[in-house]
Structure 1
Amino acid sequence: MSGRILTPIQWTLCLLVALLPVAWALNAPLWLGLLLYPEQVAGLMLGMAACTVFLRTAPGRTGPMLWVDLALAAASLWVGVHFLLRFPVLSEGAFFHPEESLALGVGVAVITLEGLRRLGAWSLIAILGVLVLYTLFSDLVPGKLQGRPIPAADIVRFIGVDSAATLGAALQVAAFVVVLFIVFGRLLVITGGAGVLTDAARALAGDRRGATAKMAVIASAFMGSISGSAVSNVMSTGVVTIPAMKKAGFQPKTAGAIEAVASTGGQILPPVMGAAAFLMSEFLQMPYRDIIIAALIPALLYFYAVYVQISLLADKHNLGAGEQEAPKPALEILRHAMVVIVPIGALLTGMFAFNMEAETAVVWASLALLAIGLLNLANLHRIRLGDVAHALYDAGRDAAEILLICAVAGMIIGLLSSSGLSFGLSFVLLELGEGSLLLLLLLTALVSIILGMGLPTSGVYLLLATLSAPPLVQLGVGKLEAHFFVFYFGLLSMISPPVALASFAAASMAGAKAMATAWESVRLGWIAFVLPFIFVYHPGLLMQGGLWAIFAATVTTIVAVPMITAALIGYGRRRLAPVERLAALALGALCLLPPGEVMWMTAATWLATFACIALIWLHLRRNPEAPSPARA
């Protein structure tokens, strides 16, 4: 009985969560003569998203637990509707409505924290709990972190009605931008766009050695950028790619690691970057197009490094293309490519040619995609309105976790500022790294990996942009470089032990040991641990500075990648002796030094590098060596 009643309610709420941002992006409230604050709509979406989380388990419950779920769902709707109706009054005069603002704050705290608990986001809950304890008892903290305590009732009211807390920029960007890209991704799946991308990846990889792994990298990169979650991308594309790689001869741990590294890398690939680009644009007050332009070269270098490792591994162990489906002819792929080219072209044209906001551009791109699917213009299959409804439902369901995470991230950001802890932490980190920027960078990298454990892309960036980036900026690092630095290391928690969620998910699908797959992911994704340091010492990699700076940073990294990769694998067109591996590693590392820092060392490194490459080439000409036989 409860399922027949609650399921339609859940469907309705998910559809509203997906459609409200569309209406907001098209200025529908103004057409209807309504003047709404963005906080009102974002708060309503937060309440509906929390309600869907509690309704997921309610149909299967009985007894007291069913009533608990129903009570939490009702409280969530009350919070959302209350934000919609009363936010203008409470935001301007919460002091005159202390009981109401206190009750709203309690409701917000209960539904967001319980909702996150059910979704498994324990790390964010723990961070908020520690921060609340600090805010209550900051006068007891010794040293530089000592502060002035805030009463518990004031903390709850602040969480409930202040625009700098729950309803701040984090939740608004998630509600009005991120949700729209989730809708776009779901529409891309039902119209067949995801299949076209996979076919294109298979055709690009060809039937050469390691082709299945290369296809996995290309497909997971495209889909990971749109999906916004490395783990969900592993679970969706890994079903196809991991078994194919194992059939081709890759070890289970390597197959899982390749999928995990490629899916994680999708989060740094423009134009979507797992929705973090929009949050970064808001934090830095920079145009969105500048963010994705800055992200382009590092993302390409990341996948270039992974691609080189796959090529060398395939050559070293003579791994073929495997038993995979034959690639479709290029003309057939191009016949269906409209389903991908037109919407993505509309998205980029809207942002770059017409200076549209990202949320407006993605709505028009989604409408173009919808028209292609409903009219079957790409000759794939005609979608029905029921398919669209299912896609919107899935998008609203997926958005619930993001909205709850961004709401709690907003609480953390607000409390850090109001308690003064952000300034104290910055001061302590600056003291630790006062004598050495490198030491501060290493500490920040470690903290970013720890804080990023278990969080999706948007949650990782929001947290680290507030906690870890400011000390770097105060020590003289550029804002863009500092934010990219913490963003990269936050994402690396997905493949770095001890909580490498993407690697663990891939390991379960590959039938490999979890920790072994995680360490294999670290080796395959080594470039991501190096690029952030290059951002800081050589910003040309982020398109900062003149053409020479950009060219030098890019070329030196391109040269260094195969040398360091060959050293790590022990193979560079032939097996390398220990001395050769050490020499290749040293020369590759020296290539990554910023040109101009030590001119004579830079010149000597380049000469030695070219000499090393020439010697290897001559050796191969005189002593051609067939690749090693495949391992059993």
Structure 2
Amino acid sequence: MSETSTNSDVPQPREALAEFRQRQPVEQLLIAAITGIGIALTTGTLYFAYVRPIVRTKFAVLFFGVGVCLYYLSQALALVEGPTNESARTRLTGWMSDRQFGLFRRFDAVLCLVSAVAGLVTGYYAFDHYIRLSQDAIVFGFTTTDLYVGLIVIAVTIDATRRAYGWSISMVALASVLYALYGESMPGFLSHPGFSLTDIVTFGAMRISGAFSFIMEVGATWVAVFIMFAGLARAYGALDFILGLGEKLGNNLRSGVVHIAVISSMAMGSITGSAAANTATTGSFTIPMMKRQGVREDYAAAIESVASSGGQIMPPVMGVAAFLMADIIGVSYVRIIQAALIPAILFYFSAGIAVQFAVLRYGWTTERVNEAGILGSLFRTETMLTVGYFALTVGSFYLARSQGLLVAATVTGLVLVFARLLQAIVSTGGEESVGSDFLGAVRNFFDGAHFGIPMAVLLYTLVIMRLSPMSAGLYTVVTLVGTMFVRDQLILLDDQIRGPTAESAGEQPASYSGEAFQTLLRTGYTTLTGFKQGAIDMAPLVGVLAAMGVIISMFTQTGLTSEISVRMVSLGGGVLLVVLLLAMITSILFGLGMPTPAAYILVATLLTAPLQDLGVAEITAHLFVFYFAMLSAITPPVAVAVAVGSRIANSGFMTSAKQALRIGAAGFLIPFALVANDSLVNWSLTATPIDTFAVFVGVIALTAVTIGYDGWNVLGLPQRVGYLVLSFTAMYAPAASFVLGTNVASMAQVAAAVLALGGLGLSYLGQSPNEVTSTT
């Protein structure tokens, strides 16, 4: 593979073709179908984002059929590739012999193929009869074919969800259908007149609701374009760049590589939407690195699990839940980003502090490559030049912006190129090495910094231009693809100017035009591979989003959601704290084993109304339940992220879960701080800075309590109790304003934060009271 190829794990065309030819004919057919459908799904999504030829709901119906078909084909391929894969055994198949197990998996592969065809046909049927099903049939009645199609849609949805995310959410979907069907037999307030099977089928799918509801609409548009962008970015080597960036930061910290896990998992988790998948992806790199540094196995698994789970609250994507939240609440996407920003920073700040304290306490530190540390790095020549280029970029862009986006981007690029060329002339004194210095800088930029270009486009289109997430995603994908094509051609040009390397000195040099064409083909192949991977990553979400639509339709139509709201307020006696605790427990329980977006949709439907009835702002209520749905990924007994992390680290599940709770302890208290300090979510000029300062200090003090270390000394029981009182006061004093008054509560909050900060300062100076020296 030449240097001009992208830094990814994507096999090159010749390697992929050779591997393809070695496969069985059935596998070849499946791979060809998956590749074609995957590329077509991503291309179609981007085309819809650009042209919008049909209404969003109709596109979502077609997207459902194609997405479910792609998912089942991928499952069939996995079954055909490994008919006796022992790791795929479950309790149901554990007793089977190898021959019986192989026959079972082959039969399951056939079932997947049938389901793929059924999903595609039913999706097309609903798409083709869209007008009649959404309008005429509701008045004049549905045909027998409509009802059979709807029944198949619900069955395929539940089965696809079971295969992708296990039994938990699929059983909830099945239970919702049974609840609607047998409502008359339910006890107490759960009782309702009951639905007929026709009602279940029509409300569950064929009224273009349920499986085809707004959840599928958001998934097929806003969510899909970002999942596909993530697949494309991975194909281009973005994950390698993120890990490398984390490693550079680790060189400036005594804690070393452990912060690679926090940074890389935060970045990837914001896009993936699955804590377990994120733990498996980044954890396969970071957990072995942490263990090599000396970090204990259970802590390595815990650090990765907490960091992977928290990425889903990090703007701008928030694990795709931000799009769902904006649509449910009915506010702009930018408003969701603003509301979630400080809570997300709080969570990762607490996790980062906890990791730092744990590593320092147990001596898992490493020698820093950069002895100056982070503060020294901030004032290096390279850093100052980077800041200068960033300022020049922003200034040039805004000066040229009045001429249009394309002109602005072009002028900015030319200004940056001229500025870097000028720097090369100054730094080399006008010698012949100017060109070499300039080309070297260009090459270094395209080693990873170029990924900042599409991210800048994403932020600009979302925050400044206020475009819809789908339009912003479209521009981001197009920018990423364009950047990679330019990158590979510029690196090839650099190779041609520099001449042959030592490794290729004996080879016959190829013409530049031939090499340029080959490079173009390689980049195009990687792009199509990214299109395919993005669609495959999105496919499992199609089933679960449709299942959530069915669940919500059943609960809403039977009146269960409003009944739960009334009962929850009644059970809490109208006391906000009690209702918040009930909402926390319910959110965690509903989130166990579920992907966070699905868990959020469910708890938002059931639990936000009672919180709003007691005075909690709508967006704060949604963030509250979303936070705990996310934290279910590290909460025993399920803790899916910890389960994956502990397997990679070869540590005990419960031991790792215990450490994950210690590291993420502040995360369980931050949502209550959002309710007590509403300015953290709904910003104001005066209250937000004060509350942010106090809560951040409170989080540091609370983390010192849970870890038993303040960064310099091991804490004894008196110090822990003192910090605990100060942290709770700094985080929750405004909640007592109805008793103390607003001014007194604010003064108490700030005073507690100052005292806690002072205690940490005294500890740093070695003037704090005697601490316990045990490190157990």
**TM-score bin (small chain):** over 0.9
TM-aligned CA distance change 1:533 to 1:620, over 3 Å: closer
Answer yes or no: is 1:194 the counterpart of 2:333.
no
**Distance in 1 between residues matched to 2:748 and 2:523, nearest whole Å:** 64
State the Cα distance separating 1:487 from its structure 2 match: 0.5
Instruction: State the match for 2:661 in structure 1.
Output: 522
Answer yes or no: is 1:346 the counterpart of 2:457.
yes
State the Cα distance separating 1:433 from its structure 2 match: 1.6
State the Cα distance separating 1:167 from its structure 2 match: 0.8
Out of 673, 683, 686, the residue aligned to residue 534 of structure 1 is 673
Residue identity opposite 1:565 in structure 2: T
Higher mean displacement: 470-479 or 411-420:
470-479
State the Cα distance separating 1:185 from its structure 2 match: 1.0
**Distance in 2 between residues matched to 1:87 and 1:590, nearest whole Å:** 57
Instruction: State the match for 2:609 in structure 1.
Output: 470
TM-aligned CA distance change 1:568 to 1:109, over 3 Å: same
Does the aligned pair in 2 maintain the 1:452–1:460 contact within 8 Å?
yes
Report the secondary structure of 1:547's partner residue. coil
Instruction: State the match for 2:684 in structure 1.
Output: 546
Instruction: State the match for 1:569 in structure 2.
Output: 707
Residue identity opposite 1:591 in structure 2: A
Instruction: State the match for 2:502 in structure 1.
Output: none
**Distance in 2 between residues matched to 1:236 and 1:630, nearest whole Å:** 36
**Distance in 2 between residues matched to 1:612 and 1:289, nearest whole Å:** 34
Residue identity opposite 2:332 in structure 1: P
Instruction: Give per-residue Cα distances to partners, 1:13-70, cap 9 Å, x unaligned.
Output: 22222222211110152xxxxxx34333212221222222332343527675454333
Report the secondary structure of 2:76's partner residue. helix
TM-aligned CA distance change 1:72 to 1:314, over 3 Å: closer
Instruction: State the match for 1:43 in structure 2.
Output: 61
Report the secondary structure of 1:384's partner residue. helix
Does the aligned pair in 1 maintain the 2:228–2:538 contact within 8 Å?
no
Higher mean displacement: 14-23 or 168-177:
14-23
Corresponding pairs, count: 625
Instruction: State the match for 1:556 in structure 2.
Output: 694
Residue identity opposite 1:290 in structure 2: R
Report the secondary structure of 1:499's partner residue. coil
State the Cα distance separating 1:459 from its structure 2 match: 1.1
State the Cα distance separating 1:73 from its structure 2 match: 2.1
Report the secondary structure of 1:286's partner residue. coil
Residue identity opposite 2:119 in structure 1: S
Residue identity opposite 1:559 in structure 2: V
Instruction: State the match for 1:32 in structure 2.
Output: none
Instruction: State the match for 1:14 in structure 2.
Output: 38
Out of 495, 508, 511, the residue aligned to residue 634 of structure 2 is 495
Out of 328, 338, 341, the residue aligned to residue 296 of structure 1 is 341
Instruction: State the match for 1:384 in structure 2.
Output: 523
Report the secondary structure of 1:320's partner residue. coil
Answer yes or no: is 1:369 the counterpart of 2:480.
yes
TM-aligned CA distance change 1:622 to 1:150, over 3 Å: closer
Residue identity opposite 1:358 in structure 2: P
Instruction: State the match for 2:194 in structure 1.
Output: 149
Instruction: Give per-residue Cα distances to partners, 1:78-110, cap 9 Å, x unaligned.
Output: 112112211211221224433122011111012
Answer yes or no: is 1:306 the counterpart of 2:348.
no
Does the aligned pair in 2 maintain the 1:336–1:380 contact within 8 Å?
no
Answer yes or no: is 1:85 the counterpart of 2:131.
no
Residue identity opposite 2:301 in structure 1: G
Instruction: State the match for 2:48 in structure 1.
Output: 24
**Distance in 1 between residues matched to 2:354 and 2:113, nearest whole Å:** 52
Report the secondary structure of 1:589's partner residue. helix
Does the aligned pair in 2 maintain the 1:574–1:625 contact within 8 Å?
no
Report the secondary structure of 2:129's partner residue. helix
Out of 606, 610, 622, the residue aligned to residue 483 of structure 1 is 622
Does the aligned pair in 2 maintain the 1:87–1:161 contact within 8 Å?
no
**Distance in 1 between residues matched to 2:163 and 2:32, nearest whole Å:** 21
Q: Which runs of 5+ in 2 are unaligned?
A: 1-24, 84-102, 387-440, 493-518
Does the aligned pair in 2 maintain the 1:201–1:218 contact within 8 Å?
yes
Instruction: State the match for 2:571 in structure 1.
Output: 432
State the Cα distance separating 1:379 from its structure 2 match: 6.5
Instruction: Give per-residue Cα distances to partners, 1:402-424, cap 9 Å, x unaligned.
Output: 11111011111111111111111
State the Cα distance separating 1:312 from its structure 2 match: 1.7
Give the TM-score of the pair, scaled to structure 1.
0.92
Instruction: State the match for 2:505 in structure 1.
Output: none
Does the aligned pair in 2 maintain the 1:192–1:339 contact within 8 Å?
no
**Distance in 2 between residues matched to 1:8 and 1:117, nearest whole Å:** 26
State the Cα distance separating 1:468 from its structure 2 match: 1.7
Instruction: Give per-residue Cα distances to partners, 1:456-513, cap 9 Å, x unaligned.
Output: 2321221111122222122322110110011000011111101111111111111111
Higher mean displacement: 280-289 or 106-115:
106-115
State the Cα distance separating 1:594 from its structure 2 match: 3.8
**Distance in 2 between residues matched to 1:614 and 1:546, nearest whole Å:** 27
Does the aligned pair in 2 maintain the 1:452–1:491 contact within 8 Å?
yes
**Distance in 2 between residues matched to 1:528 and 1:378, nearest whole Å:** 46
TM-aligned CA distance change 1:353 to 1:600, over 3 Å: closer
**Distance in 1 between residues matched to 2:770 and 2:268, nearest whole Å:** 36
Higher mean displacement: 608-617 or 546-555:
608-617
Out of 76, 101, 113, the residue aligned to residue 58 of structure 1 is 76
Q: Which runs of 5+ in 1 are unaligned?
A: 30-35
Does the aligned pair in 1 maintain the 2:727–2:756 contact within 8 Å?
no
Instruction: State the match for 1:586 in structure 2.
Output: 725
Higher mean displacement: 81-90 or 59-68:
59-68
Residue identity opposite 2:45 in structure 1: P
Out of 229, 233, 240, the residue aligned to residue 278 of structure 2 is 233
Out of 227, 249, 266, the residue aligned to residue 204 of structure 1 is 249
Out of 366, 377, 399, the residue aligned to residue 538 of structure 2 is 399
Answer yes or no: is 1:460 the counterpart of 2:599.
yes
**Distance in 2 between residues matched to 1:227 and 1:245, nearest whole Å:** 23
Does the aligned pair in 2 maintain the 1:182–1:395 contact within 8 Å?
yes
**Distance in 2 between residues matched to 1:621 and 1:468, nearest whole Å:** 47
TM-aligned CA distance change 1:378 to 1:313, over 3 Å: farther
Higher mean displacement: 593-602 or 364-373:
593-602
TM-aligned CA distance change 1:511 to 1:620, over 3 Å: same
Instruction: Give per-residue Cα distances to partners, 1:261-293, cap 9 Å, x unaligned.
Output: 111111111111111111000001100001001
Answer yes or no: is 1:259 the counterpart of 2:304.
yes
Instruction: State the match for 2:330 in structure 1.
Output: 285
**Distance in 2 between residues matched to 1:604 and 1:57, nearest whole Å:** 58
State the Cα distance separating 1:4 from its structure 2 match: 2.8
Query: What is the root-mean-square deviation of aligned Cα atoms in Å?
Result: 2.9
Instruction: State the match for 1:224 in structure 2.
Output: 269
Residue identity opposite 2:530 in structure 1: A
**Distance in 1 between residues matched to 2:673 and 2:142, nearest whole Å:** 52
Report the secondary structure of 2:211's partner residue. coil
Instruction: Give per-residue Cα distances to partners, 1:536-590, cap 9 Å, x unaligned.
Output: 2221111x15222212221111111221111222222112221111111111111
Instruction: State the match for 2:588 in structure 1.
Output: 449
**What is the percent sequence identity of the aligned residues?**
29
Residue identity opposite 2:273 in structure 1: G
Does the aligned pair in 2 maintain the 1:123–1:454 contact within 8 Å?
yes
Give the TM-score of the pair, scaled to structure 2.
0.76
**Distance in 1 between residues matched to 2:51 and 2:614, nearest whole Å:** 42
**Distance in 2 between residues matched to 1:482 and 1:77, nearest whole Å:** 38
Residue identity opposite 2:39 in structure 1: L
Residue identity opposite 2:691 in structure 1: A
Report the secondary structure of 2:315's partner residue. coil
**Distance in 2 between residues matched to 1:591 and 1:147, nearest whole Å:** 47
**Distance in 2 between residues matched to 1:549 and 1:190, nearest whole Å:** 44
Report the secondary structure of 1:494's partner residue. helix
**Distance in 2 between residues matched to 1:378 and 1:298, nearest whole Å:** 42
TM-aligned CA distance change 1:586 to 1:212, over 3 Å: same
Instruction: State the match for 2:230 in structure 1.
Output: 185
